Amino acid sequence: MSDLSSAQSSVKQATLQQPIWRNALAGLQMLFVAFGALVLMPLITGLDPSVALFTAGIGTLIFQLITKQTVPIFLASSFVFIAPIAYSVQTWGMAAAMGSLFVSGLVYVAIAALVAIRGTGFLHRLMPPVVTGPIIMAIGLGLAPIAVNMAMGKSGDGAAELFPYTDSLIVSMSALITTLLVATLGKGIFRLIPIMAGVLVGYIMASIMGMVSTDAVANSEWFAIPNFITPEFNLAAILFMLPVAIAPAIEHVGDILAIGSVTGKDYTKEPGLHRTLLGDGVATSTAALLGGPPNTTYSEVTGAVMLTKMFNPRIMLWAACFAIVLAFVAKFGVALQTIPAPVMGGILILLFGSIAGVGMNILVKAQVDLSDQRNLVIVSTTLVFGIGGMAMGNADFSLQGISLCGLVAIALNLLLPQTKAEEASLGHPQAITENKIEQSSV
């Protein structure tokens, strides 16, 4: 065993023997780290942030149960689904959007079953980096207009002006600059909460500018049941959402390898990738049944685990319990909804850009050669279909945005002939992914 692995094992053993109060305090800290992104996603899509807190907690408990409390992961709102949720809500309504997200969770379950039967090789053949990279880039770049509109004081679609332009820019840039500075210059645990810092400074500036009204907070009850939504199942909405679920499922593999590189354990073997995928999928479907956003693993929490060396999965159980309790504090949920659009817009400029950056990084780390015509065709077509608003279908049903570009990317990858070098590289996806993690940690 290497010195690094021995050190990780010693630290892990120490954290497993911590008293309950220390685990509880560490769990509260993990929730604090994830909190900014957790509540921002539902605020953008019109979901109840209290429901998002509740389903993040329930989802994490489900994940830990299915994975036998072996992986120190906290699940919370996924930004990948923002644009598809917004379109689904606008087209078919919130209940139908929740129904489609429930089925999306079942996609994870189906992939988990395939992984249990056939291993992970087919995943990398279906969606190699040349496919997942541009899809994730299209997700981030396609959301860019929403961030810019909100930063300028408009609604997400730009149709309505909510606040004066100059005041909005001052507020949004204050939030953005604070987030950038904390992310790049912050030390210790503070470096892991740039979103919360940006929201706090932006909110203070917005209050000074007269953009914040706290009347709703004063008039609300202290405790209340979150606004749960019963899903409806609309075939068109389901077919629209299904392709969107595939890319995050593939990304899940990288997330599990990343947390494994931090703790020194191979979670693809124990509890097994099929169990982690199953846990993520069941958590997402459960969230949709309650009206919450789909769940995903959080890199912020992975970073906190690495920084604090808190490897005990029971810590995430405490974080989940705190999230569930907080969901019933009505004044807290109402206060979150008073955050003005310019504050969120400033932070979303960075977040959506970061999503696009993740997609670019996938291509770079996998050394995808864009001078190769096959790769160039897949990447360029996927990007334009995803960002340009291409739609195919009729008045009853159409595919567009991420759903369409995801299917197009997969189809092109399967139909266009590969070189022998490309076929060989697909035979060693584990080594490629581990190399990506090793390079990114340097």
State how far the Cα of 35 lies from the Cα of 53, in Å rounded to an integer.
Answer: 9
Determine the average pLDDT of the residues in 275-291. 95
Q: Which pLDDT band holds residue 140 (cuts at 50, 70, 90)?
A: confident
**103 with 240: CB under 8 angstroms?**
no
State the pLDDT at residue 90. Answer: 87
Question: 341-365 and 429-440 are packed helices; what angle lies between their axes, rounded to 10 degrees?
Answer: 130
- Could you tell me which residue, 325 or 389, shows the higher pLDDT? 325
CA 369 distance to own-chain centroid: 27
Q: What angle do CA 371, 377, 381 make, to 5 degrees?
A: 135
Q: Is the pLDDT of residue 11 over 60?
A: no
Q: Is the pLDDT of residue 308 over 90?
A: no
Per the listing, tokens 């209050």 go with 207
State how far the Cα of 325 lies from the Cα of 315, in Å rounded to an integer.
Answer: 16
For residue 372, what are the contacts with CB-CB under 8 A and spacing of at least 6?
419
Which pair of tokens denotes residue 190? 């503070």
3-state secondary structure of 400: strand
State how far the Cα of 279 lies from the Cα of 108, in Å rounded to an integer.
Answer: 9
State how far the Cα of 23 lies from the Cα of 206, in Å rounded to an integer.
Answer: 36
Phi, psi of 413 (to 5 degrees): -65, -35
* Amino acid at site 18: Q
Query: Concatenated DSSP letters for 283-299?
Result: HHHHHHHHTPPPEEE-H
Closest of 74, 304, 355, 351 to residue 190, by C-alpha: 304
Per the listing, tokens 């299904």 go with 242
State how far the Cα of 87 lies from the Cα of 241, in Å rounded to an integer.
Answer: 10
State the pLDDT at residue 428. Answer: 47
Determine the average pLDDT of the residues in 20-36. 81
**309 with 9: CB under 8 angstroms?**
no
**109 with 281: CB under 8 angstroms?**
yes
Q: Which H helix or E strand runs over 421?
A: helix 420-425
Query: Concatenated DSSP letters for 116-145?
Result: HHH-SHHHHHHS-HHHHHHHHHHHHHHHHH
Query: Concatenated DSSP letters for 160-205?
Result: SB-S-HHHHHHHHHHHHHHHHHHHHH--GGGGG-HHHHHHHHHHHH
Least confident of 108-112, 218-222, 301-305, 342-346: 301-305
State how far the Cα of 61 lies from the Cα of 59, in Å rounded to an integer.
Answer: 5
CA 361 distance to own-chain centroid: 16
Q: Which pLDDT band holds residue 167 (cuts at 50, 70, 90)?
A: very high
CA 143 distance to own-chain centroid: 14
393 bridge partner residues: 398
**253 with 273: CB under 8 angstroms?**
yes
Greatest Cα pair distance, the chain, in angstroms, is 67
Indicate the pTM of the whole model.
0.75
**Beta strand pairing status for 295-297 and 75-77?**
antiparallel
Q: Is the pLDDT of residue 374 over 90?
A: yes
Q: Is the pLDDT of residue 169 over 80?
A: yes
Which pair of tokens denotes residue 154? 């408009």
Phi, psi of 88 (to 5 degrees): -65, -40
Determine the average pLDDT of the residues in 385-404. 77
- Could you tell me which residue, 189 or 158, shows the higher pLDDT? 158
State how far the Cα of 292 lies from the Cα of 227, in Å rounded to an integer.
Answer: 10
- Could you tell me which residue, 28 or 299, shows the higher pLDDT? 28
- Could you tell me which residue, 22 or 129, shows the higher pLDDT? 129
* Mean pLDDT estimate for the chain: 83
Q: Which pLDDT band holds residue 440 (cuts at 50, 70, 90)?
A: very low
